[in-house]
Amino acid sequence: MSRYADSERHALADLLTVRGPDAPTTIPGWTTRDLAAHLVVRERRPDTVPGLLLRPLAGHTERVRLAAAARPYPALVELVRRRPRWGPLSLPLVDELANLAEFFIHHEDVRRAETGWHPRQLPEAQQAALWKRVPGLARRSLRRFPAALLVQAPHHGEVAVGTGGPQVRLVGPPAELVMFLFGRQRVARVRLRGPTALTERLQTMRLGI
């Protein structure tokens, strides 16, 4: 089985090393140090996961993340690079399911924060693996979108979401759709077709988990 989560993990760790602790990311207010701390805490402190989903618990998660960010940066990056030996995400199959999109997105968060970036040419098998995340994510994020929204990845598939009404199409490679649906609309290379008010709303609304 291909291990794209691992390849994205290692590529991200390499890039974090090159960029250093104070480089920008596409996440407002976060540097590369902040991003590395988030990844370390997510994998190694299961008690913080509810705070990623539930606002009342976010304070605990943020306190733990800030404590992790205070570590020496090289040690922090090394923890990003090494998959935990034990933990809920440590099994290879679970790692691939849970971490492929996570590490791909955060790798791109660092890449796309610099001027002159361009989309990578990913293997088709990796694009297919990323496409598997798109339907569920689109249904969760856009089920109440006030349109008949069709999310399409040529040669991979499509999913219809929304409440019906005016037709809107969101088209792109799976990797770019993943970026878009996880709230990186500003740096996602996709095509939007439909009424201007709806496409503008889709480009600026809060998406992702």
Report the C-alpha gap between 42 and 175 in whole angstroms: 22
For 48-52, 147-151, 189-193, which range has the lowest pLDDT when averaged over its residues? 48-52
Average pLDDT of the residues in 117-125: 95
Whole-number pLDDT of residue 136: 95
Q: Under a CB-based contact definition with an 8 Å cutoff, are residues 174 and 185 in contact?
A: no
Residues recorded for the chain: 209
Does 76 have pLDDT greater than 90?
yes
23-43 per-position pLDDT tens digit: 999 999 999 999 999 999 998
Side chain identity at residue 157, one-letter code: G
Give CA 21 to chain center in angstroms.
20
What DSSP designation does 147 have?
S
For 54-58, 172-176, 187-191, which range has the lowest pLDDT when averaged over its residues? 54-58
Give CA 176 to chain center in angstroms.
10
CA nearest neighbour of 34 among 22, 46, 43, 44: 22
Alpha-carbon distances, residue 149 vs 157, 164, 201 (angstroms): 14, 8, 13
Bridge partners of residue 193, in order along the sequence: 169
Q: Under a CB-based contact definition with an 8 Å cutoff, are residues 128 and 174 in contact?
A: yes
Q: Which pTM value belongs to this model? A: 0.91
Whole-number pLDDT of residue 65: 86
Q: Which long-range contacts (CB under 8 A, 24 or more apart) does 66-71 make?
A: 66/37, 68/37, 68/40, 68/41, 69/33, 69/34, 69/36, 69/37, 71/37
Does 2 have pLDDT greater than 60?
no
| 126-204 CATH fold | Nonspecific Lipid-transfer Protein; Chain A (3.30.1050)
Q: Where are the alpha helices (DSSP H) in the chain?
A: 4-19, 32-44, 49-53, 58-69, 73-81, 92-111, 124-131, 134-142, 174-181, 196-204
Whole-number pLDDT of residue 90: 66
What are the structural domain ranges in the chain?
A: 4-111, 126-204
